[in-house]
Structure 1
Amino acid sequence: MMTWILGFYLILVLYLIYIIWMTLGLTRFLNQKHHKFKNPKTKFSIVIPMRNESDNLPALFRSISELSYPKALFEIILVDDDSQDDSWKLTREFQTHYPDIKVYLISNSEGNFTPKKNAIHKAISIASKTYILTTDADVLLPTHWLEIYDSTLQQTDADLLAGGVVVAKRASFLSHYQHFDMLSLQAFGLGSFARNHPVICNGANLCYRKQAYLDADVNLGKEKIASGDDVFTLQSFKRKGYAIEYLSNPESVVWTMAQESFGEFWQQRRRWARKTTSVDSWYMKGVGILVTLMQLALVLSMFLGFWNQAFFGFLVNAFVFKFVVDGWSLSRMAKIQNLSFCWMDFLKVSLVYPFFTLFFSLTSLYGKFEWKGRRFAK
């Protein structure tokens, strides 16, 4: 039993060291001076795949209409993936009400890729602008979104810019959990960029040069993986040696809605987990293993404590240290994105986090998962 306890403490120490090391990398973003708006010149094709999004489209369209960027410099390409609701009708109404905004609605016909990858690839093939900006149909876009991307691209001439995504907190505990979970993913992503190991980004807020995307052949070997269009794009750009940057300006963050039911949330996490095994990054896989082992040590110590009280001692010590360090890390990430941070809400989420994480990890290893009414094997 003593060997197990020492092993658990070793995992805890390694975990804490990694979180502290990663979080310290965020320091340069905390004090970063953001680029001032320049005379806009970058041309964007905004690509939005959609499937049965009639509940979300009105809010998305309203945020598009409020974008403070010259309308001649951007176009919207919505790719409908066989929606069975009023998504098509709502899009047509938006086109009618805002004729000064170039909005294209195309059908996601069958292709060589899984639906979302195919939608993005098809939209890019007809896009007329220099830069592609991908987002989702269930997000809200900030007013100065395009201006911030434009000024950053003029300053850095990056081939890929990854932006932040925030899950809106509502009254439900599940939405609070998803808010902090997304915040932790953002901290990992931004911290990895800061440490020159960029491994994850989010397709709900991702910009890249169109020609670079075509040259990188980002879907090669990943055609049948349902998720990962964002991570595989980042990975391909890294291999090509393209310039990659993270957009930390809080005014560039897009907001998305939390999954309303645990079943939907579970399927979403299974979909995300499946792409991890296909990512060619030992760094990302190593961090994933470390995080999983940390959660496993907490759960096992809870049960083993009934046979040996020393495990209860580890459980208390590990939870307190982990809670403080994780909270410090996420509060800094929240500050970067100009968000409030509630320690009490984080405490509630922390109590169930190990169980949720292990459940999602274990159930993602087998069986098919559902997304948008379809079933996928990977």
Structure 2
Amino acid sequence: MLLLILFGLITAAYLGLIISFLYGWKRIPDFQLKGLSAENTFSIVIPYRNEAGNLPALLRSLSGITYPTEKFEIILVNDGSKDNSREICETFLKDFPLFNIRLLENERQTNSPKKDAIRTAIENSNFDYVATTDADCVIPPNWLHFFDEMIRENNSEMIAGPVGFIQKSGIKKPYFQNFEEMDFMSLQASTIGAFGIEKAFMCNGANLCYKKALFLEGSGFTENEDLASGDDVFLLQGFRKKGKKVAFIKSAKATVFTNYQNNLHELVQQRIRWAAKTSAYTSVFAKFTGVIVFLMNLSLLIFTFLAFIDLFPYQYLMLFFLVKFNVDFILIFMAVKFMNRESLMRHYLWCSIAYPFFSVYVAGLSLFKGYEWKGRRFKR
């Protein structure tokens, strides 16, 4: 009986959490550009390391920016690349002389190369707002217009935007990439939902903008320099803690697209890196969310085993699983519809079964092991 009550309480807490995200999603209105003349100025910051295979696509998308060239600059920061990434950026600089492009070398100061690269760029930047993306992404032509109008409409001091995956026609994706995208859709839906209930704790540095002065006033990443990743979420949580105004651009047209991980090992390493920073979150709601999600998935595994050896009624196991299955379906379907990726839902059944195993495995590894990132090894 006690086990049943425990499982029921965890499921109820999880159900309440997902319902709050659904409510938050509905509270954020769809955002549309009004075609206003550009006003704010932006420093586009892009760290890169060994991205020779991805940089050409990113740089092509940067060349298509429709924002007035005098109102933005592009700062590319080389983080010790061992391939010809630097040469590709130098060619971009020569091919677009009308753009304000600057090539910098990372100035390492901490255990986080990416945070150091962003800090290096910001300290050498000239404009009022910092817009960040990653070297394996492509950006929409009106990217800076979305940030500009959001700032002017809402007085936002930090703005997050949607991120999707680059789709290549005629190529069948491996199953782990469908799983990766499904998991990412749940994270994006939760992100937007949390913004909607004014409890934002997640965002993605691939599509992010914030006021430069806030970064400099708050000393940037000084509170979490020991963690290699988290340049995006720690800034968000830090700004919210100080009462700064944050917002999310709920528009598919503002989406920045990124690449899938190349193999399952890279996916696991990425998720370990993401999970490893959870304990350092300053947001109580973020920690609560992480604990409830973990307990829900762990409970499903434990009680499945107990039901298998007849120590727990399988009828209740199926009931609690179906509760999770259905509320997750609604949340994820909202995200895939928003991103025009409804076809992804054909993988929902097997992904929902695999996810508890995957998430508990990754969470366990994040507690005891380090991870690989951009050819470097980081300790726990």
User: Which category describes the TM-score, using the shorter chain as reference length?
Assistant: over 0.9
Structure 1 residue 157, shift from structure 2 partner: 2.2
Structure 1 residue 33, shift from structure 2 partner: 4.8
Q: Any conservation in 1 of the 2:182–2:344 contact (CA below 8 Å)?
A: no
CA distance in 2, matches of 1:156, 1:307: 56
Match of 1:13 in 2: 12
Higher mean C-alpha displacement, 7-16 vs 76-85: 7-16
Q: Any conservation in 1 of the 2:157–2:245 contact (CA below 8 Å)?
A: yes
Q: Any conservation in 1 of the 2:20–2:197 contact (CA below 8 Å)?
A: no
Which residue of 42, 49, 52 maps to 1:51?
49
Match of 1:247 in 2: 249
Match of 1:360 in 2: 362
How far does the alpha carbon of each residue in 1:173-229 deviate from its partner, in whole angstroms, 9 at most, with x for none? 111111111111111111111111111111111101111110012312311210111
Match of 2:331 in 1: 329
Task: Give the residue type in structure 2 aligned to 1:163.
Answer: G
- Could you tell me which runs of 5 or more consecutive residues in structure 2 were left unpaired when the two chains were aligned: none
CA distance in 2, matches of 1:306, 1:244: 47
How far does the alpha carbon of each residue in 1:114-152 deviate from its partner, in whole angstroms, 9 at most, with x for none? 200100000000111111001100011012111111111
Match of 1:161 in 2: 159
Task: Give the residue type in structure 2 aligned to 1:18.
Answer: L
Give 3-state SS (helix, strand or coil) of 2:74's partner.
Answer: strand
Structure 1 residue 306, shift from structure 2 partner: 2.2
- TM-score where L is the length of structure 2: 0.94
Q: Any conservation in 2 of the 1:216–1:240 contact (CA below 8 Å)?
A: no
- TM-score where L is the length of structure 1: 0.95
Higher mean C-alpha displacement, 132-141 vs 313-322: 313-322
Does residue 125 (structure 1) correspond to residue 123 (structure 2)? The answer is yes
1:195-344 → structure 2 map (5 Å cutoff):
195-308=197-310, 310-344=312-346
Kindly tell me the number of residue pairs found equivalent between the two proteins.
Answer: 376
- Could you tell me which runs of 5 or more consecutive residues in structure 1 were left unpaired when the two chains were aligned: none
Match of 1:93 in 2: 91
Task: Give the residue type in structure 2 aligned to 1:122.
Answer: T
Higher mean C-alpha displacement, 15-24 vs 311-320: 311-320
CA distance in 2, matches of 1:144, 1:311: 55
Does residue 32 (structure 1) correspond to residue 30 (structure 2)? The answer is yes
Higher mean C-alpha displacement, 334-343 vs 141-150: 334-343
Structure 1 residue 346, shift from structure 2 partner: 1.5
Give 3-state SS (helix, strand or coil) of 1:277's partner.
Answer: helix
Which residue of 132, 151, 158 maps to 1:134?
132
CA distance in 2, matches of 1:81, 1:119: 7
Give 3-state SS (helix, strand or coil) of 2:224's partner.
Answer: coil
Match of 1:4 in 2: 3
Give 3-state SS (helix, strand or coil) of 1:142's partner.
Answer: coil
Match of 2:180 in 1: 178
Give 3-state SS (helix, strand or coil) of 1:60's partner.
Answer: helix
Task: Give the residue type in structure 1 aligned to 2:207.
Answer: N
Structure 1 residue 281, shift from structure 2 partner: 1.6
CA distance in 1, matches of 2:97, 2:131: 21
Task: Give the residue type in structure 2 aligned to 1:125.
Answer: E
Shift in CA distance, 9/131, structure 1 to aligned 2, threshold 3 Å = same
Q: Any conservation in 1 of the 2:23–2:196 contact (CA below 8 Å)?
A: no
Match of 1:64 in 2: 62
- What percent identity do the matched residue pairs reach? 37
Q: Any conservation in 2 of the 1:161–1:246 contact (CA below 8 Å)?
A: yes
Runs of 4+ in 1 over 6 A off after TM superposition: none
CA distance in 2, matches of 1:113, 1:72: 35
Does residue 22 (structure 1) correspond to residue 24 (structure 2)? The answer is no
CA distance in 2, matches of 1:311, 1:49: 52
Q: Any conservation in 1 of the 2:204–2:233 contact (CA below 8 Å)?
A: yes
Shift in CA distance, 315/260, structure 1 to aligned 2, threshold 3 Å = farther
Q: Any conservation in 2 of the 1:37–1:148 contact (CA below 8 Å)?
A: no
Task: Give the residue type in structure 1 aligned to 2:379.
Answer: A
CA distance in 2, matches of 1:127, 1:74: 10
Higher mean C-alpha displacement, 304-313 vs 57-66: 304-313
CA distance in 2, matches of 1:241, 1:189: 18
Higher mean C-alpha displacement, 316-325 vs 351-360: 316-325
Q: Any conservation in 2 of the 1:248–1:337 contact (CA below 8 Å)?
A: no
CA distance in 2, matches of 1:363, 1:69: 44
CA distance in 1, matches of 2:6, 2:21: 23
Task: Give the residue type in structure 2 aligned to 1:242.
Answer: K
CA distance in 1, matches of 2:165, 2:320: 28
Q: Any conservation in 2 of the 1:49–1:120 contact (CA below 8 Å)?
A: yes
